[in-house]
A and B are shown apart, each in its own frame.
Chain A
Amino acid sequence: MFRFIAKRFLEMIPVLFVIATLTFFMVRLAPGGPFTTEKSIPPEIQKKLEAFYGLNKPLYEQYLDYMGNLLKGDLGPSFKYATWSVNELIWSAFPVSLELGCYGLAIALILGLGAGIVASLRQNSAVDHISMSLAMLGICVPTFVMGPLLVLIFGLGLGWVNASGWDSARDRILPSLTLGGFYAAYIARLARGGMLEILNQDFIRTARAKGASPKRVILKHALKGGLLPVVSFLGPAVADIITGSFVVETIFQVPGLGRFFVTAAFNRDYTMVLGTVLFYAVLIILLNLVVDVVQVWLNPRLRFE
């Protein structure tokens, strides 16, 4: 297992290299620049700014500079937020997204696993139909519809919570529900499908025949295999949840990382775009590695290759 993990870490390097290179040149090929704003800056100031950020050097030199700094873990200075480095910006915004993501993930897991497992145990019952219809609804109502609707009902209509903001504990409720609800729907469907497949297998019948209690059959025998589809879904999903959803953070004005994914591109904040993309990529790769390890633990027939 140690060799497997070490190998995957080594594989990460070329992948990140490809991502960094692709993004670097894509960002630079794009028309416009970080200092082309509506208010025109005097040319001499623009020249000084470009010299300060090294933008007047040939592109390949800038690329080598960037990659050199990247090796040291330095993502460079932000072009938009003067005096801030990209590292500082990410580390100041990420905890907010992480907090929101943890609430969302908790909601998604509790609702999703609960509904999915119960539905699989009572296949074709009313509980099954109702929870699966709700899950389908959760998938089909996108977060950018669900969020505003929740604000409309609970914020503006009933006045139970603030429409937006991130100050009090109450402000956490709606964004967490919007974020978690969507993933709960997926998890419920996957958990039900996975459990149904396992519950029909011979070893479950054997366990029942040997007199194992229903609780023991589910917890000890069925759950491990039944949750495999959920686990492989969770890898990329967790990366999405904790790096912050642009939609949820914009609707509820949460000061997290998610909004940078789009605003940095709009501002042509080259280093910030690269920084967020790389940060996200590292998280996705790490979480996929965790998923692979957990999958082998859940299903011993798989081996570490």
Chain B
Amino acid sequence: MQQTIAPELPQATPLLREEAGGSLWLDAWHRLSRNKMAVASAVILTVLTLLSVFAPWIAPYSYEEQNLALRAVPPQAGHWLGTDALGRDQLTRLLYGGRVSLMVGIVATGVALAIGVTYGAISGFYGGMVDVVMMRTVDIIYALPFTIFVILLMVFFGRDIRLLFVAIGAVEWLTMARIVRAQVQALQKQEFIEAARALGLRRRRIIFVHMLPNVIGPIIVYATLTVPAVMLLEAFLSFLGLGVQPPMSSWGLMIKDGADRMEECPWLLIAPGVTLATTLFCLNFLGDGLRDALDVRTSKD
């Protein structure tokens, strides 16, 4: 008998916390921590982020420092990942490139989130003609060849990294707006929203204080999956020579250099290629893990 009682005791804690409103998140946390791939991905991403953030202190060289005596040498002591055609340390450039890639990923996703969530919430909340007009606009924008517009913007006005953030963010908000709108619409008929209305709360307060916290699951999941898409777009633009400009480094730029001389120095292609792929891999697994943990259905509509 005692043995059957004992295992039940730990369960008392989550039950108590449910009253505090933390149960959903605690459950999700437990589910996520059981998902080994997601945990491993989170650990790798944390390590990569820390390495990139502290690149100026960790990196053995400066990102533009050239050693003309050691040009295009394969991995060896002192240059663990070799050097490029200009004699710059590959490991150093990889670390600095990580700063750019991760920053673009996070900032552009932030821009997309800010636009998408506000737009979707307003459209879903007001409904009627407002909703029709706003969503038809999204439909029309969807038909625009947006990647081409980003390319044109970068060719014509840019190679400025701030423009890159805005341009990418402006492309990625559409799906977010649709997801948030659908969720907000579903919440409209719930009693606690009606209660909030009956209490005479301001619309802005209802949207941001009462509705958005209930939509946060899908938002987190979609944001996690947007980051790799954004990083891929940045790498693609840098690969075309439209993103980050040399001598600054970025993974896309390094892949471009590597692809140009892969016959003589394949290590220049492999290191940044593997790093980029690993990062995207981890972000996707973490996103999938979060979706399962938060029990979000992404097959929308």
Same assembly: yes
Q: B229: nearest residue on chain A (CB-CB)?
A: A139
Q: Cβ of A34: which chain B residues have Cβ within 8 Å of it? A: none
Q: B157: nearest residue on chain A (CB-CB)?
A: A30
Q: Which of A31, A139, A149, A197 contacts B273 (CB 8 A)?
A: A149
Q: A236: nearest residue on chain B (CB-CB)?
A: B142
Q: Does A144 lie at the interface of the complex (its beta carbon under 8 Å from any beta carbon of B)?
A: yes
Q: Cβ of B151: which chain A residues have Cβ within 8 Å of it? A: 261-262, 265
Whether the Cβ atoms of B258 and A247 lie closer than 8 Å is no
Q: Cβ of A266: which chain B residues have Cβ within 8 Å of it? A: 155
Main secondary structure of the interface of B (DSSP, over half): helix
Q: Cβ of B273: which chain A residues have Cβ within 8 Å of it? A: 141, 145, 149
Give complex CA distance A176, B193 in Å: 53
Give complex CA distance A4, B280 in Å: 40
**Interface hit among A81-89, A204-212, A273-281:** A273-281
Q: Which of A212-271 contact B (CB under 8 A)?
A: 229, 246-247, 251, 261-262, 265-266
Whether the Cβ atoms of B259 and A251 lie closer than 8 Å is yes
- B149, B151, B155, B157 — most chain A CB neighbours (10 Å): B155
Give complex CA distance A112, B203 in Å: 46
Quick one: CB contact mask for B267-300 with A, threshold 8 Å, 1 for yes? 0010001001110110011000000000000010
Give complex CA distance A273, B252 in Å: 24
Q: Does A26 lie at the interface of the complex (its beta carbon under 8 Å from any beta carbon of B)?
A: yes
Given the known A-B contacts A152-B266, A280-B148, A288-B143, are A140 and B281 also in contact in the complex, defined by CB atoms under 8 Å? Answer: yes
Whether the Cβ atoms of A144 and B155 lie closer than 8 Å is no
Quick one: CB contact mask for A1-43 with B, threshold 8 Å, 1 for yes? 0000000000000110011001100110111100000000000
Q: Does B144 lie at the interface of the complex (its beta carbon under 8 Å from any beta carbon of A)?
A: yes
Q: Cβ of B277: which chain A residues have Cβ within 8 Å of it? A: 137, 140-142, 145
Q: Does B228 lie at the interface of the complex (its beta carbon under 8 Å from any beta carbon of A)?
A: yes
Whether the Cβ atoms of B232 and A142 lie closer than 8 Å is yes
Give complex CA distance A22, B140 in Å: 13
Interface residues on B, range: 35 or more
Number of interface residues of A (CB under 8 A): 45
Q: Which of B51-110 contact A (CB under 8 A)?
A: none
Quick one: CB contact mask for A132-146 with B, threshold 8 Å, 1 for yes? 000011011110110
Q: Cβ of B276: which chain A residues have Cβ within 8 Å of it? A: 142, 145
Q: Does A151 lie at the interface of the complex (its beta carbon under 8 Å from any beta carbon of B)?
A: yes
Whether the Cβ atoms of B284 and A261 lie closer than 8 Å is no
Quick one: CB contact mask for A120-160 with B, threshold 8 Å, 1 for yes? 00000000000000001101111011011101100010000
Q: Cβ of B156: which chain A residues have Cβ within 8 Å of it? A: 26-27, 29-32, 265
**Interface hit among B1-9, B27-35, B206-214, B234-242:** B234-242
Q: Does B262 lie at the interface of the complex (its beta carbon under 8 Å from any beta carbon of A)?
A: yes
Q: B239: nearest residue on chain A (CB-CB)?
A: A144
Whether the Cβ atoms of A265 and B255 lie closer than 8 Å is no
Least distance between B145 CB and chain A CB atoms (Å): 5
Least distance between B85 CB and chain A CB atoms (Å): 16
Q: Does B263 lie at the interface of the complex (its beta carbon under 8 Å from any beta carbon of A)?
A: yes
Give complex CA distance A152, B145 in Å: 32
Q: Does A284 lie at the interface of the complex (its beta carbon under 8 Å from any beta carbon of B)?
A: yes
Whether the Cβ atoms of A284 and B143 lie closer than 8 Å is yes
Q: Does A285 lie at the interface of the complex (its beta carbon under 8 Å from any beta carbon of B)?
A: yes
Give complex CA distance A14, B139 in Å: 13
Q: Which of A18, A22, A148 contacts B258 (CB 8 A)?
A: A148
Q: Cβ of A165: which chain B residues have Cβ within 8 Å of it? A: none
Least distance between A225 CB and chain B CB atoms (Å): 12
Q: A32: nearest residue on chain B (CB-CB)?
A: B156
Whether the Cβ atoms of B143 and A136 lie closer than 8 Å is no
Whether the Cβ atoms of B269 and A149 lie closer than 8 Å is yes
Give complex CA distance A193, B228 in Å: 20
Whether the Cβ atoms of B155 and A15 lie closer than 8 Å is no
Whether the Cβ atoms of B140 and A18 lie closer than 8 Å is yes
Q: Cβ of A151: which chain B residues have Cβ within 8 Å of it? A: 262
Whether the Cβ atoms of B236 and A148 lie closer than 8 Å is no
Q: Does B24 lie at the interface of the complex (its beta carbon under 8 Å from any beta carbon of A)?
A: no
Q: Cβ of B256: which chain A residues have Cβ within 8 Å of it? A: 144
Give complex CA distance A280, B145 in Å: 7
Q: Cβ of A265: which chain B residues have Cβ within 8 Å of it? A: 151-152, 155-156
Least distance between B127 CB and chain A CB atoms (Å): 17
19 A–B contacts, CB within 8 A, in A order: A15-B143, A22-B144, A23-B149, A23-B152, A27-B156, A137-B277, A139-B284, A140-B277, A142-B277, A144-B259, A145-B276, A147-B259, A149-B269, A246-B240, A262-B240, A265-B151, A265-B156, A280-B148, A284-B145
9 shortest interchain CB distances as A-B pairs: A30-B156, A140-B280, A148-B259, A145-B273, A265-B155, A140-B281, A140-B277, A141-B277, A280-B145
